Amino acid sequence: MAFVEINNLIKRYGSLTIFDGFDLTMSSTDRLVLIGPSGCGKSTLLRCMMGLEDIAGGTISLGGDPYITGAERGKMTLDKTVQKEVGMVFQHYTLFPHLSVLGNLCLAPMRSRGMGKSDAQDKAMELLKRFGLGDRAKFYPSQLSGGQKQRVAIARALMLDPKLMLFDEVTSALDPELVKEVEQTMMELAEAGMPMMIVTHDMHFARNIATQVVFQERGKVIEAAAPNDLFGNPKQDRTRDFLKNVLNIEG
């Protein structure tokens, strides 16, 4: 059984159907990058996996454990213990402004895991130092640059030792010169062997970090392949068109 397995996922927003029987698998050594046109459901997919969305059908499994099982009329079942093994970083800054960097990192481990304060702080400092943010521990989010905020958000998610990390366009809201530091942090995490699913519009970064690239359109996987194959030699016309378009825009 695959590490991540999505079977027959059905997701609707009211009468709008985003996924109607969507399947996807990923192994624990994979870093899967999702690409596709705007509105094709990339964010929705990650949100479903995080347990943030009600799904109308299908199952989502982690490590062979189906932790989300969809059902009509909001009767979805969600195993919260497995949900806690998934971490997510969002496009928009979601650091809590009333807490310092250290406070942001320690909140969840202390409150939802019952970790002691000094243990949590030690762990937080270790992570911050690893990401070159050790001197920012006492700062408040409003005193950080966008790139620093996103790196703190990544560290915050890592405090809970996730088995899988989800990244939804974490560099899209950043000024161009700040993108690199966040991408480097993600690369470092990749090298440390963290399984991740990444949504990005940055094709160069996708090519660098991915072991698998999935091109998705209108709630369907059109093509999934290793980055060199998908970018270098796409099999499907639609993949080719999409890539031609985005690479043109990027110049």
Binding residues with ligand ATP: total (CB under 6 A): 11
By a kind-dependent CB cut-off of 5 to 8 A, residue 108 interacts, out of other proteins, ligand ATP, Mg ion, none, with other proteins
Report the helix count and the strand count for the chain, using DSSP H and E.
9, 11
Burial bucket for residue 18 (CB in 10 Å: 0-12, 13-18, 19+): buried
| Interacting residue with other proteins among 31, 47, 123, 136 (CB under 8 A) | 47
State the DSSP string of 113-129. S---HHHHHHHHHHHHH
Would you call 225 helix, strand, or coil by DSSP? strand
Asked if residue 150 binds ligand ATP (CB under 6 A), the reply is no
Asked if residue 44 binds ligand ATP (CB under 6 A), the reply is yes
By a kind-dependent CB cut-off of 5 to 8 A, residue 41 interacts, out of ligand ATP, Mg ion, other proteins, none, with ligand ATP
Contact flags string 102-131 toward other proteins, x per CB under 8 A: -----xx--xxx------------------
Would you call 164 helix, strand, or coil by DSSP? strand
Under DSSP, the state recorded for 43 is: H
The CA–CA distances, whole Å, from 167 to 8, 73, 226 equal: 22, 28, 19
Point out which residues bind other proteins (CB under 8 A).
47, 50-52, 80, 83-84, 86-88, 90, 92-94, 96-99, 107-108, 111-113, 140-142, 156-157, 160
